[in-house]
Amino acid sequence: MASRLWKEGASHVVLITLVLIITFPVIYALIVSTLTYQQAYEFPPRLIPGTELWPNVLEAWERINMGRVFFVTGVVSAGTAVVKIVLSLMAAFAYTHFKFRGRALLFPLTMITQMLPLPVRILPTFEMMASFHWINTYSALTFPFFASTTGILLFRQFYMTVPRDLSDAARVDGAGPLRYFIQILIPLSRTNIAALFVIEFIFMWSQYLWPLIVTTTADMRMMQIGIKMLIATDQIAPAWNVIMAGTIVAMLPPLLVLMLFRKSFAEGIAMQSQK
């Protein structure tokens, strides 16, 4: 009994230590965000929170017009995630429930595009956006990310595990393919939908290179560009207390999305790992 308690206690100590090591950068950023400019440069570094969090947040908010940055980034992130999910659901349904000429070749070709991420094809994609006169628009920020081979593969693999008898029973009951898709398959896919939404929302929220290229006006900045602009300063050294305050605020929406969908996200990831 004592040996088991000792092992459990040791395992808890190890886990807590690992969690503290992993989360220390975030904890330290939160501490720095509460300090003054002079305190942020003290050595050894302070590990006790200060009292300047709110003034630092207000300064970061005003310096980069963070309200507008939040709005643009939220629209782009949520909109792209939703469209990706819809297109992935429809494509996966077509691949698994319809027979059409070239299906066996088309799916591998779709997967090959995973080998060509946006940074590799950034020049022709930019030229395309410019030819459409989409520079500094939501279209340029979202359209190149709408197609998702990851989403197609995720839903395709799930649909292949759904018993064929289910679609046959729905057909006997008079349900056509569209009704079967909307009323049966989509509800069954809710955990995968939640998992993909969390992944794609955080992915888009963290975008830096593409928004930097296709936006040049202040009213179309995305969050990572805004954080980078906090570093640019006329002071001798960057105001890391203000930068960390802005960074902590920028982390809140992805964290909120993860917390809202944490159960479905965990179930979706666990479901895929079991296949």
pLDDT confidence bin for 269, thresholds 50/70/90: low
- pLDDT at residue number 75: 95
Average pLDDT of span 73-96: 92
Establish if 90 belongs to a structural domain: yes
- pLDDT at residue number 71: 95
Average pLDDT of span 122-150: 89
**What φ, ψ does residue 124 adopt, rounded to 5°?**
-65, -35
Q: Lowest-confidence range among 61-65, 93-97, 102-106?
A: 102-106
Establish if 194 belongs to a structural domain: yes
CB–CB of 72/220 below 8 Å? yes
Tens-digit pLDDT profile for residues 127-138: 999 999 999 999
Q: Which domain holds residue 120?
A: 64-235+243-273
List the CATH number of the domain containing 122.
1.10.3720.10
The pTM assigned to this predicted structure is 0.86
Greatest alpha-carbon pair distance for the chain in Å reads 75
CB–CB of 194/268 below 8 Å? yes
Question: In the predicted model, is pLDDT for residue 160 greater than 90?
Answer: no
Tens-digit pLDDT profile for residues 222-262: 999 999 888 876 666 788 889 999 999 999 999 999 888 87
Establish if 15 belongs to a structural domain: no
Establish if 55 belongs to a structural domain: no
Q: How many domains does the chain have?
A: 1
Average pLDDT of span 5-28: 85
Q: How far is the C-alpha of 36 from the C-alpha of 53, rounded, in Å?
A: 9
Token pair listed for 78: 């949520």
Q: What percent of the chain has a predicted confidence (pLDDT) above 70?
A: 93
Q: How far is the C-alpha of 141 from the C-alpha of 220, rounded, in Å?
A: 9
Question: In the predicted model, is pLDDT for residue 274 greater than 70?
Answer: no
Q: Which of 38, 24, 22 is nearest to 242 (CA)?
A: 38
Establish if 209 belongs to a structural domain: yes
Token pair listed for 42: 């003290």
Distance of CA 145 to the CA centre of its chain: 12
- Asked if residue 44 has a cis previous peptide bond (ω within 30° of 0), the answer is yes
Establish if 38 belongs to a structural domain: no
Token pair listed for 48: 């006790």
Question: In the predicted model, is pLDDT for residue 272 greater than 60?
Answer: no
Establish if 75 belongs to a structural domain: yes
Token pair listed for 236: 């001798």
Token pair listed for 124: 């022709």
Establish if 138 belongs to a structural domain: yes
What is the DSSP code (8-state) at residue 236?
Answer: S
